[in-house]
Amino acid sequence: MNEYLMIINKQHNLVGEYKYSEEDGCYIGDIINISDLISFEGDTESGVIREFNEAVDDYVAFCAEIGKAVPYLWMPYFNQNGRFCGILSLQ
């Protein structure tokens, strides 16, 4: 499996993508809708999802601590039922 899979943290509107790395022997990913580079990894798929959510929480807390707004490049868009529909460009 070398395709990237998307994951969304609705609470903070942050989106990540991850894939299994044969070379590293684990799942690796990045938060993709901000201008900063935030990576995460996990040994299992559920582990990488947990690590993504922890990375999101840590990043948002860090931004608040230093008085910086989260530098979104785009935001996920959800319909009235909470299903992902697409992206809203912020540029």
pLDDT reading at 78 higher than 60: yes
Q: 1 pLDDT exceeds 70? A: no
pLDDT of residue 2: 65
Which residue's structure tokens are 């959800």?
78
35-41 LR contacts (CB < 8 Å, sep 24+): 35/71, 35/73, 36/71, 40/16
Rounded distance, CA 89 to CA 5, Å? Answer: 21
**2-60 pLDDT per residue, tens:** 688 989 998 999 999 999 999 999 999 999 999 999 999 999 999 999 999 999 999 99
